[in-house]
Every structure is written in structure tokens, then in C-alpha cells.
Structure 1
Amino acid sequence: MKKLFVTVLAAGMTTVAFCQKTFILSHQDKKGFFAVSAGASLPVGRFASCSASDDQACMAGNGLVFNLSAGYRVAGPVGLMIRGEQHRNSVNTGAMLDALYRNDSDVWTAKADNWSIMTVMAGPYISIPLSGRFSVDGHLLAGRALAVLPNTSMSGTFGRTEMSLKTTGSQSSAMAFGGGLSLRYRLGRSTAFNLNADYSRADFTFTNLTSTAQSNNSVSTSSSYSSDRTVGVVSVSAGIAVLFGTKYRPF
């Protein structure tokens, strides 16, 4: 009986010690992170504009975003981070048709590729611990962006005449600026769940664009031209972070 009591006591103490160790390690401060997230990309400003009178309206719709980021604190709560992000946004084809002058009896259809925007930015961030396992990070970033202006096409009838309109796309790079917040919840020693809200903006100039109109056997192609477009997106994403860089190790 005494041996059984000693065995149970030892097992209990071992379990308590293990739980204490796990608790301490799951709350231990980490100086760096690698994170991957995915979510929704929401166009704002002229990127979402569908106004027929706005020659820089991008008519972008909601889309998807995928991002990778890494950061390391270098002085207390302040650190440096780098972030790569990919947005894919649809084009509002209904707005394209609304901007086309036509009779009520005319039947038209529109097609468009997706907008594609890729950014790579870096800058400072600050990490602020909250109660329990929660913390919040804020960051301001700058870098480069690459965008692809989508090809578009419309076809239909104007009276009794069949017509089609096509516009070629192009790609352009520009300076990008952004910022955002991340709410982090520690899942264990070296993992965390991230909920992110970010904004990014870039002003692009797309060159070598052409438009082609075709009716019956007649084809007319414009000379090359350029177009300035402002791309602004708000993204909401969630993902997992791997934490590293413990300053003090008690075990």
C-alpha cells in the first residue's frame, strides 16, 4: 500500500511539473515569427469605382489574398518585418456593360480576366502583449508592387449590327505603401493563431494598351496608349504563425 501511494504521488508530481513547464513555455515571450495567412481582398477607392465618368475607374470586385510574413523584434517591443502578398480580384462585368451606351433592346455580354496584384514590403512593427495569451502587432510597410491590368471584351448588337470591343491588358510596377494590425493568440510553445487586417496602395501607369472594335467585316484598332490606375485594397485574413527566438530559457 505504501509503495502504491508513493507511486501515485510521484506520478502526480510529474504531471504537475509537466503542466507547469508547458504553461510557462506557452506564455514565454518570443522575439520572432514566420506567418502564413489567407483571406478576403476588398477593393477600395478608385480601385472599386464603377463610375462611367471616371476614366481611372478599375471596376474591381472582391477577391482572395494570400500572404507570407516574417519579423524579429530588435529593441523591446519594436522590430522589423517583411511581408509578401498576392491579391486576385474579379472585374465587375455588370459595371462594364452599364458604362456602354446601347439601346434597351440591345443584348450584350462582357468578359474579363482577374486583377492580379503582388506586393513585397518591409518596415517596422510593434508588438503589444494583452491579457492572457493574446497580443496585438501593428506595422507600417513600404516596398514594390506588380499589377496586371486584365484583358476585357464585350460583344453584342447595336440595332441590327453585331459588334465586339476588346481591350488588351498590361502589367506595371510601382512603389507600394501599407499598414495594418494583427491579433495573435498563442496556441502553444511555438505556434499562434493570427487574425490580420491590412491596407495597401500603389499608383500604376499601364502602357502599350490597345482597344479593338469589330463590326461585321470592319475592324478598327487604336494606337497604343497609357492609363494611370490607383490600386487600393483592404484585406482580412487568418492563419498560423511559428514563433522563435526565446530570450530566456528556464528549461
Structure 2
Amino acid sequence: MKALFVSILLLGLVQASFGQKTFILSMQDKKAFVAVSAGVSLPVGEYGSGVAGTQRASMAGPGLAVSLSAGYRLLDHAGLMAKVEQHRNTIQTRALVESVDATHSTDWSVNSGDWSVTTFMAGPYVTIPKGRFSFDGRILAGWARATMPDTQVSGTYGSTPVTMQTIGSQSSALTAGAGTTVRYRLNPWLSAHANADFSYAVLTFANLSSKAWSANGVSETPFYSSDRQICVVSASVGLTILLVNANRPF
């Protein structure tokens, strides 16, 4: 009976020791991370404006945002990180129709591509750990590459079929952004996270052209340029792989 009691006691101590070790490892400080995220992209300002007659209204609608980021903590609560993010935003078809004066026409159809914006940014970040949770903040700057989509609107003025087409282009410029992340530690090397981000850039799109044709002939504009403000707020979730032990408790 005494031997059985001792065996049970030893087993309990071993399990307690293993549980304590597992808990310590699950909270072990890591200095680096790689994260993948996906979520919603929300255009704001002129980028998301669909007001007819506004020259710089880009008529971008809600879309998809995906990103890949990596960082390394140089100090206790601060480090450097880099981030690549891709936004794809649809065109607001109603706004596009209204921009060609739909009050005098009927039976409109729209054919359009999507806005595509890719950003490459880097900068400092800070992190504040709270148990299994951590809270990050960042300020980033870098380069943006955007594609303005081609659009085509077809309708009828009176009894005359009309088609209007705009040919888009690509442009690059400096960009800046900021964001915050909340992470929850799942195990020693993996966390789940939620992000909120903001990015801004002003790009000049050159070699744009517009053309309209009907039974009465074809009208085409010379090539022209247009400045556009690309301003996006995104909300996303994903997983973070934690790397590089800050210390070795065992």
C-alpha cells in the first residue's frame, strides 16, 4: 500500500513538472516572427468615392487584402519588420454608370477589371506582451505599385447604342502606412492574430485614353494623365510563426 502511494505521488510530481515545463515553453519569449494574413480591403477618401463629376474619384469598392510580413525584435519591446500586401478592389458599377450621365439613357451594362495595389513596406514596430496575448503597433514606409483597370460602359441614348471605354495603366510611387496587431499564443511557436492597417499613396497614371463609339462614328481623346490618391483601410486575420528563442529556460 505504501509503495502504491509513493508511486502515485511520484507520478503526480512528474505530471506537475511536465505541465509546468509545457506552460513555461508556451510562454517562452521569441525574437522573430513570420505572419500571413487575409481579410477585407476598404477604400476610403477619393479612392472609394463614386460621386459623379468628381475628377479624381476612383470608384473603388470593398475587396480582398492579403499580406506576408516578417519582423525581428532588436530591443526588449521594439524591432524592425517588413511587409508585402496585395489589395484587389472592385469598381462600383453604379457610380461608373452615373459618371456617364445615366439620366439620359437606359439599358446600361458595365464591363470592368479590378483595382490592384501592391505595397512593399518596412519600418519599426513595438510589441507589448500580456500573458498569452501581445499587442503590436507599427509605422511603415515603402513603395506601392497600382493598376487602374480598363472599363467599358454600354447603353442607349434614345434609339442610338453607345459604348464608352477607358483604358487604364500602371503606376508606382512612395507609400506610407500604420497598423496594429493583437496576437494570441497557441503554443510555443504559433499564434493567431488580428490586424488593422492603413496605407496611403498618391500615384500619377499616364497614357490613359478614352473612346466612345456609336452608329454616328468614333470619338477618342488624346492620351492624358491623372493623379489618384490610393487610401485603404484593411482588417485581416491570420497565423504567426514564432522564431528565435530569446532565452533558454531548460
TM-score (norm 2): 0.96
Query: What do you get for the CA RMSD once the two structures are aligned?
Result: 1.3
User: 2:222 corresponds to which residue?
Assistant: 223
Report the identity percentage. 50
Separation in structure 1 between the aligned mates of residue 28 and residue 47 of structure 2, nearest angstrom:
43
CA gap of 1:50–1:102, structure 2 versus 1, over 3 A, is closer
What's the CA shift for 1:102?
Answer: 3.9
Preserved contact between residue 111 and residue 151 of structure 2 (Cα < 8 Å): yes
CA gap of 1:102–1:20, structure 2 versus 1, over 3 A, is closer
1:88-237 paired onto structure 2 within 5 Å: 88-103=88-103, 106-130=106-130, 132-216=131-215, 218-237=217-236
CA gap of 1:224–1:191, structure 2 versus 1, over 3 A, is same
Separation in structure 2 between the aligned mates of residue 174 and residue 60 of structure 1, nearest angstrom:
19
Separation in structure 2 between the aligned mates of residue 175 and residue 102 of structure 1, nearest angstrom:
37
Q: Which amino acid aligns with 1:197?
A: A
Q: Which amino acid aligns with 2:37?
A: S
User: 2:40 corresponds to which residue?
Assistant: 40
User: 1:242 corresponds to which residue?
Assistant: 241
Deviations 1:57-76 (A, max 9, x none): 00010001000001111122
Preserved contact between residue 61 and residue 89 of structure 1 (Cα < 8 Å): yes
Preserved contact between residue 104 and residue 157 of structure 2 (Cα < 8 Å): no
CA gap of 1:225–1:16, structure 2 versus 1, over 3 A, is same
Give unmatched runs, 5+ long, in structure 1.
Answer: none
Separation in structure 2 between the aligned mates of residue 46 and residue 5 of structure 1, nearest angstrom:
75
* Paired residues, number: 250
Q: Which amino acid aligns with 1:24?
A: I
Q: Which amino acid aligns with 1:160?
A: S
What's the CA shift for 1:2?
Answer: 4.2
In structure 1, the residue corresponding to 2:106 is in which secondary structure? coil
CA gap of 1:23–1:148, structure 2 versus 1, over 3 A, is same
Separation in structure 1 between the aligned mates of residue 38 and residue 90 of structure 2, nearest angstrom:
17
What's the CA shift for 1:52?
Answer: 1.5
Deviations 1:82-117 (A, max 9, x none): 000000000001011112224456221222101100
What's the CA shift for 1:42?
Answer: 0.5
Separation in structure 2 between the aligned mates of residue 60 and residue 185 of structure 1, nearest angstrom:
33
What's the CA shift for 1:10?
Answer: 2.8
Preserved contact between residue 182 and residue 195 of structure 1 (Cα < 8 Å): yes
User: 1:85 corresponds to which residue?
Assistant: 85
Preserved contact between residue 136 and residue 184 of structure 1 (Cα < 8 Å): yes
Separation in structure 2 between the aligned mates of residue 79 and residue 94 of structure 1, nearest angstrom:
45
Preserved contact between residue 103 and residue 158 of structure 1 (Cα < 8 Å): no
Separation in structure 1 between the aligned mates of residue 50 and residue 177 of structure 2, nearest angstrom:
24
1:21-32 paired onto structure 2 within 5 Å: 21-32=21-32
Preserved contact between residue 203 and residue 228 of structure 1 (Cα < 8 Å): yes
1:61-76 paired onto structure 2 within 5 Å: 61-76=61-76
